[in-house]
Every structure is written in structure tokens, then in C-alpha cells.
């Protein structure tokens, strides 16, 4: 399938940078979108017996980088200061590429990944045209040895490669806002453990521990959606993050599920379709919190999900997924127990802010007696809070870079 520039998306690509900058306020994820230098308007595919050819058309000329990724073997094109006006990408039938994905991996970097069905080596170049520029990528047949021995990255064309933020675990010299959301509260107790532990109390204690851990960094301001035992609706929690122009929103939970043997932490991002049955059930449970909302509080204002908001959300979702991947890795590095496949997704209402990267963290499950004991352990709480704080600092300092998440396996320590 060739992804072409529908008239609406072509125009949206040109105005998206301005729109998201206005809507996103000072949020760095969107403020930098106004500085985009090029727009990807079309992607055309041609498959032959010996190669798979891609033609990308741009308004403007992007700085581009070619990257080889292993396990699984993939070819990536990084486009700096570029916004896309394309729909989802699907490869036409061919012998070389089994999957194509696209999304932001940093505030200034857009990536297209081609998953290889067989070994192949890339040839890429950029040429200017009257309308803008064209990037051509040819994937030609090779053996696995040649792929593994090839240069893992190089600049495409003569355009100078812009500086990429360092991944050192120090936050740049500017202020950031992190909103931490202790789930449930007030009339909403949340889950109840075997020993009578209330989820709302676990969440609040952990949120305060995370605030203390993040507070050690002078460049990070932390705000809690609730400081005490009070009820806050799901929409209000999301609104607090937006009003604070948060750089990250983290919702803390410790749910109870009908599988008492499952234990360990899980990191969730927003998705209209749940990644699995467990994620679907947890999202339904968490979303039911708004049954406590007084009808008088309902504003009744219709939600406006026009195409510009959806494009903004696509950008934000990409940042959320990369933060989630880094968070899972950091939890594993700190030897915090994780469930199998700890990075998951579902339709959590609390994560729906279109302009704030957001995750929901299930610290453990009160339906498991071992997890319940850990959730009450002050030392474990401090270790886990430090792990999440390290992930936040790494995400902010690297400008939401997705390189580490794209190349390293996700560790798991539990079932």
C-alpha cells in the first residue's frame, strides 16, 4: 500500500506545528513541533525479486539518518525536525519487509522502522525537487553476515546531522513538571487486599515517596492530584496535568484481579484496544471509579476529537510508549519484580490528556498476598520510587529518546 498525501492531511501537516504549539503551551513535547523544518507527505513502495524500494516525498528537506537495529533485524530512518501527514503504514506484498511502523522517538526526531523478513542491506539518498525533496531507500538482498557486519548508522545525504541530546542521567538546565496521581481516594477505596489493605492508602503513600525521590532534583517540580484522602474524578486528574503543563503524568495503582497468582509491577499506556484480556479488565476496573462522581459535577461539554487533536495525540502517545519502555527497563535494573510482558496498553480514561505523555503504573496486585506485603514495605516503596524517579530523569534528560527502548530487550523478573 502506498501512503499518499490526501489533501486534508497534506494541509494538516503544514499547519500541525503551529496548532500543537498553541494547544500545548510550554510543554516541550509540543512547543518544539513549531520548529519542524519538513513535512513527510507521501511514501511509495515498489517490490521486486531483488529489492524493496521506498520513495518518501517531503515539503522541505529533512536531516536524515539510517540506522540498523538487531534482534529483530530492522532498518530505521530517523528524520530530524520533521512532522508526518501520513496514515498508518502497511507494506505491500514483498519478500523483504514484514512490517512498517512510524512515530516520534524524541522531541525533534521522527522514525520509520522497516522490520526485515529476510536479510537485506539498505541504500539511501536524498535529492531536492521543485516541491521539496525526495528520500529514496532501496533494500537489496544480502546474507545475515553482511547485515550484522554493516555500519549500524550513517547520515543520509550531505545534510549535517543535528546534535542529539545526551542520555546522561542529568536533567538539562530548565524546569520540568511531573504530575503524580495517587489513584482512588475518598469514597472510592479502590481494591482491598487479603489483609484489609486499602488501595487508596497504598497509592497515596507511594505518590508521596515518588514526590520525595523526584524532589531531590532541583529542576523537577512535582504536583500530586490529591494530597490526602479525597475523591478526584478521572477527568479532573487528567485536567490537573494539562493545567500544570506537565511534562509527564504518572498514575499510581495497586489493583486487585481475579488471578491471585499473578504478581509484579506493570506499566500501561493508552490504547483504544487493550493489548490483552488482563489489561482490558484492569482498565474497566479503574475506569469505574467515576461511578462516584456527583451528577452535579458533570459539565456535559462535548469532547471535540477533530483530526488535529488526533494528530497531537499520536505524537503524545509515542512519547508515552517510549517513557513506558524506559520505565520498565529501569524497574528491571533496580530488580523490582515485573509481571510477564510488563509493558501493556488499554483504554484508561485517566491517561487521555492529548498533550501530556502519560502512563499508569500498577505497582503490584493486592489480590496477591506476597505483593500486598511488598506494597506495605517502606524499604521496597523507597527502592521502587527511586527506580521510577531514575526513569523520569532519564526520559527528560534524553529528550524522550527511544534508542534504548528500541534496541534493548525488556527485562522480566516475574510471571
Q: If pLDDT is split at 50, 70 and 90, which confidence band does 312 have?
A: low
pLDDT of residue 150: 85
Q: How confident is the model at residue 406 (pLDDT cuts 50, 70, 90)?
A: very low
Strand partners, 106: 109
Measured at the CA of 123, the angle between CA 119 and CA 126, to 5 degrees, comes to 150
Q: For the domain bounded by 7-156, which CATH number is listed? A: 2.60.40.3500
Angle, CA of 155, 158 and 162, to the nearest 5°: 55
* Average pLDDT value for the chain: 79
Average pLDDT over residues 12-31: 43
Global confidence as pTM: 0.58
Q: What is the mean pLDDT of residues 310-314?
A: 58
Three cell numbers, residue 274 = 487493550
Q: Which strands, in side-by-side order, build the sheet including 248-253?
A: 220-224, 176-182, 248-253, 358-362, 265-270, 338-346
Under the banding of pLDDT at 50, 70 and 90, the label for residue 372 is very high
CATH superfamily of this structure's domain 176-407: Zn-dependent exopeptidases (3.40.630.40)
CA nearest to 336, candidates 368, 282, 379, 366:
379
Q: Which residue has the higher pLDDT, 228 or 408?
A: 228
Question: What are 175-226's pLDDT values in tens digits?
Answer: 899 999 999 999 999 999 989 999 999 999 999 999 999 999 989 999 999 9
pLDDT of 241 higher than 70: yes
Please tell me the predicted confidence (pLDDT) of residue 55: 95
Q: Please state, in angstroms and rounded to a whole number, the distance separating the CA atoms of residues 146 and 42.
A: 30
pLDDT greater than 70 at residue 415: no
Question: Residue 220: in which H helix or E strand, if any?
Answer: strand 220-224
Domain positions in the chain are 7-156, 176-407
Q: Tell me, what's the pLDDT at 287? A: 66
The C-alpha atoms of residue 62 and residue 39 are separated, in whole angstroms, by 8
Residue 243 pLDDT > 70 = yes
Between 267 and 355, the more confident residue is 267
Query: Which of helix, strand or coil describes residue 409?
Result: coil
| Residue 10 DSSP SS3 | helix
> What mean pLDDT is predicted for residues 74-98?
87
Predicted pLDDT of residue 2 = 58
- Whether the pLDDT of residue 310 is over 80: the answer is no
| Bridge partners for 121 per DSSP | 140
**What per-residue confidence (pLDDT) applies to 199?**
96
Strand, coil or helix: what is 159?
coil
Going by pLDDT thresholds of 50, 70 and 90, the confidence category of residue 70 is confident
pLDDT, residue 411, reads: 35
Q: Which of 98, 97, 92, 139 is nearest to 120 (CA)?
A: 139
Residue 200 pLDDT: 96
Amino acid at each position: 500500500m502506498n501512503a499518499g498525501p490526501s489533501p486534508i492531511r497534506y494541509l494538516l501537516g503544514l499547519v500541525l506545528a503551529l496548532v500543537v504549539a498553541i494547544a500545548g503551551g510550554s510543554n516541550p513535547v509540543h512547543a518544539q513541533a513549531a520548529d519542524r523544518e519538513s513535512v513527510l507527505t507521501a511514501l511509495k513502495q515498489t517490490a521486486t525479486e531483488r529489492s524493496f524500494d521506498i520513495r518518501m516525498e517531503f515539503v522541505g528537506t529533512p536531516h536524515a539518518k539510517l540506522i540498523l537495529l538487531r534482534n529483530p533485524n530492522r532498518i530505521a530512518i530517523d528524520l530530524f525536525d520533521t512532522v508526518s501527514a501520513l496514515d498508518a503504514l502497511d507494506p505491500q506484498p514483498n519478500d523483504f519487509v514484514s512490517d512498517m511502523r512510524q512515530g516520534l522517538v524524541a522531541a525533534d526526531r521522527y522514525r520509520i522502522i522497516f522490520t526485515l523478513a529476510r536479510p537485506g542491506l539498505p541504500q539511501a539518498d536524498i535529492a531536492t525537487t521543485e516541491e521539496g525533496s525526495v528520500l529514496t531507500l532501496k533494500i537489496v538482498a544480502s546474507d545475515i553476515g553482511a547485515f550484522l557486519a554493516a555500519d549500524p548508522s550513517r547520515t543520509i545525504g550531505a545534510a549535517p546531522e543535528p546534535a542529539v541530546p545526551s542520555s546522561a542521567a542529568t536533567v538539562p538546565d530548565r524546569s520540568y513538571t511531573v504530575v503524580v496521581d495517587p489513584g482512588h481516594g475518598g469514597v472510592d477505596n479502590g481494591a482491598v487486599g487479603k489483609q484489609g489493605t486499602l488501595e487508596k492508602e497504598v497509592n497515596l503513600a507511594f505518590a508521596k515517596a515518588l514526590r520525595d525521590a523526584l524532589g531531590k532534583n532541583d529542576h523537577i517540580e512535582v504536583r500530586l492530584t490529591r494530597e490526602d484522602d479525597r475523591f478526584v474524578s478521572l477527568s479532573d486528574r487528567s485536567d490537573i496535568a494539562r493545567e500544570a503543563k506537565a511534562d509527564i503524568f504518572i498514575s499510581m495503582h495497586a489493583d486487585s484481579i481475579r488471578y491471585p497468582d499473578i504478581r509484579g509491577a506493570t506499566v500501561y499506556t493508552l490504547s483504544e484496544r487493550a493489548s490483552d484480556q488482563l489489561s482490558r479488565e484492569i482498565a474497566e476496573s479503574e475506569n469505574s471509579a467515576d461511578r462516584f462522581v456527583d451528577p452535579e459535577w458533570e459539565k456535559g461539554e462535548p469532547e471535540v476529537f477533530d483530526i488535529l487533536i488526533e494528530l497531537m495525540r499520536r505524537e503524545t502517545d509515542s512519547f508515552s510508549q517510549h517513557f513506558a519502555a524506559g520505565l520498565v527497563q529501569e524497574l528491571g535494573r533496580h530488580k523490582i519484580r515485573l509481571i510477564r510482558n510488563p509493558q501493556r496498553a488499554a483504554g484508561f480514561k485517566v491517561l487521555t490528556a492529548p498533550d501530556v505523555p502519560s502512563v499508569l503504573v500498577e505497582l503490584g496486585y493486592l489480590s496477591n498476598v506476597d505483593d500486598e506485603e511488598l506494597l506495605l514495605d517502606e524499604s521496597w516503596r523507597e527502592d521502587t520510587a527511586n527506580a521510577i524517579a531514575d526513569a523520569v530523569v532519564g526520559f527528560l534528560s534524553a529528550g524522550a529518546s527511544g534508542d534504548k527502548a528500541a534496541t534493548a530487550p525488556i527485562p522480566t523478573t516475574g510471571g
